[in-house]
A = this chain, B = another copy of it.
Amino acid sequence: MYEELREAVCKANIELQAQKLVISSWGNVSGIDRAAGVVAIKPSGVAYNELTPERIVLLDLGGNVIEVETQNLASLQPSSDTPTHLELYRNFEAIGGICHTHSLCATMWAQACREIPCFGTTHADYFYGPVPVTEVMTKDEIESDYELNTGKVIVRRFANMEPMKMPAVLVAGHGPFTWGNTAAAAVEVAVVLEQAAKMALGTIMINPNKNKISQILLDKHYLRKHGKNAYYGQEN
């Protein structure tokens, strides 16, 4: 049941470690089967080298674990960040996979509570503007349903943005979430976000007064790779 989804999600989680975006058991990736309304996500606190498709947890969009009889194993506990993922899936209908890491440099920006400015075409190729940072969460938001509320502050930040044109957010004082069509795509965005975050940090060290690139160059690069007039790669 949902073998393909679980395999894809398992593989995407393992890729987090291969890409050096996580240490220990930090970070988690999920994917969704939109037709079935089923989400697959990393189990909580399990090391990446112990992940197998059978250990990936299945849930419905309401957060109920779906028990699957696989080699007589009971389902593991899903990632403690699961309510955040579910809130994003419920509100961002176009997305098919979500990735959360504490990757080094993106987390620096999240901790600094500063959005990552679009300083160049590397950034513009993937993110259609600065990567936003959420508001700092309130006492109430933290003390009850913290992980669900983490999702809510992200959704609130995207009130006027299209998630598929800005596939990343920095949760203030915490770290990045990224997304895409699939679990694998969400991880790819996490890799690029970390690179863009590094480049932006170096940019302000070299030139603290640097402005973002022009809207025209942003349009050019983003639309060269995305949308109906894209002309990058082999399939346009």
Evaluate contact between A108 and B203: CB separation under 8 angstroms. Answer: yes
Residues of chain B within 8 A (CB-CB) of A121 are: 102, 173-175
Residues of chain B within 8 A (CB-CB) of A217 are: 137, 142, 173
Task: Given A233-B44, A234-B44, check contact A80 B224 (CB 8 Å).
Answer: yes
Is A61 interfacial (CB-CB < 8 Å)?
no
Is A199 interfacial (CB-CB < 8 Å)?
yes
Is A17 interfacial (CB-CB < 8 Å)?
no
Residues of chain B within 8 A (CB-CB) of A24 are: 188, 191-192
| Interface residues as binary, A120-137 with B (CB distance below 8 Å gives 1, 0 otherwise) | 111000000000000011
Is A111 interfacial (CB-CB < 8 Å)?
yes
Residues of chain B within 8 A (CB-CB) of A16 are: none
* Cα–Cα, bound, A104→B56 (Å): 35
Is A119 interfacial (CB-CB < 8 Å)?
yes
Residues of chain B within 8 A (CB-CB) of A220 are: 142-143, 146
Q: What's the nearest-Cβ distance from chain B to residue A53, in Å? A: 17
Is A62 interfacial (CB-CB < 8 Å)?
no
Is A202 interfacial (CB-CB < 8 Å)?
yes
| Interface residues as binary, A182-194 with B (CB distance below 8 Å gives 1, 0 otherwise) | 0000001001100
* Cα–Cα, bound, A108→B45 (Å): 30
Tell which of B112, B119, B146 touches A206, judged by Cβ atoms closer than 8 Å: B112
Is A34 interfacial (CB-CB < 8 Å)?
no
Could you jot down 14 A-B contacts, CB within 8 Å? A23-B195, A44-B234, A45-B232, A46-B234, A102-B122, A104-B195, A107-B199, A108-B203, A111-B210, A112-B202, A112-B206, A120-B175, A143-B216, A205-B205
Residues of chain B within 8 A (CB-CB) of A111 are: 119-120, 199-200, 202-203, 210
| Interface residues as binary, A201-236 with B (CB distance below 8 Å gives 1, 0 otherwise) | 111111100100110110010001000000111100
